[in-house]
Amino acid sequence: MAEGRIRIFTGNGRGKTSAAFGCALRRAARGESVVIIQFLKQKADEKELAFYQRLEPEIRIFRFERGNDAFLSCDEDTRREETANIRNGLAFARKVLDTAECDLLVMDEVLGLVDNHIITTRELGEILGHRGETQVILTGITMDDEMLSYADEISEISPVNFRRFGQKEDNNVSI
């Protein structure tokens, strides 16, 4: 049995989630199943949720946080509640891996859980240890050195200084 590979998209540039979703779409186009679990995200609007539902059953997207705001903008009481919800999301991720429920599991912004001391790198590594043949993609702005031992591939996404190319900064386009 071949062990599933772990790919990480990290860095302070925009596009980590987009890169992970692109990988998910390619896998689904080949007939594979994908589960995406998003952490620390602001609640999706109705149009976004409706689009996500159209991707099913090939791609299933889950968010366990219940609030409307991003985790980092919440007050302390709400953060405590959301931390419990996040832990439920992590338990679900482990179940997905234990049961080989999909070919690709994307844990979007999971590295931010380590940054915010919700879990440790070791706890995340323990979850990843259950992956079997399932491929896993992790995203997050920063990654501690301990994550290097888990990763098979790391892509760093960082912004480009347009002045270096002789262009004005206001030409920076966000997709």
Categorize the per-residue pLDDT at 1 as very low, low, confident or very high, splitting at 50, 70 and 90. Answer: low
Q: Which two tokens stand for residue 12?
A: 């302070």
Q: According to the model, what pLDDT value does residue 50 have? A: 85
Q: Among residues 98, 88, 108, which one has the least CA distance to residue 44?
A: 108
- Whether residue 159 is preceded by a cis peptide bond, meaning omega within 30 degrees of 0, is no
According to CATH, the topology of domain 6-156 is: Rossmann fold (3.40.50)
The structure's pTM equals 0.87
Q: Which two tokens stand for residue 173?
A: 């386009």
Q: Is residue 161 over pLDDT 80?
A: no
**pLDDT higher at 172 or 81:** 81
Instruction: Give Cα 175 to chain centroid, integer Å.
Output: 18
% of the chain residues with pLDDT over 90: 66
**pLDDT higher at 65 or 135:** 135
Categorize the per-residue pLDDT at 155 as very low, low, confident or very high, splitting at 50, 70 and 90. Answer: very high
Over residues 18-29, the pLDDT tens digits come to: 999 999 999 999
In degrees rounded to 5, what are phi and psi of residue 145? -60, -30
Torsion of CA 93, 18, 73, 82, to 10 degrees: -10
CA distances in angstroms from 154 to 37, 77, 93, 98, 110, listed in the order given: 19, 35, 21, 24, 15
C-alpha span between 116 and 143 (Å, rounded): 12
Looking at residue 150, the DSSP 8-state letter turns out to be: T
Residue ranges covered by each domain of the chain: 6-156
CA distances in angstroms from 22 to 19, 100, 117, 165, 168, listed in the order given: 5, 21, 28, 28, 29
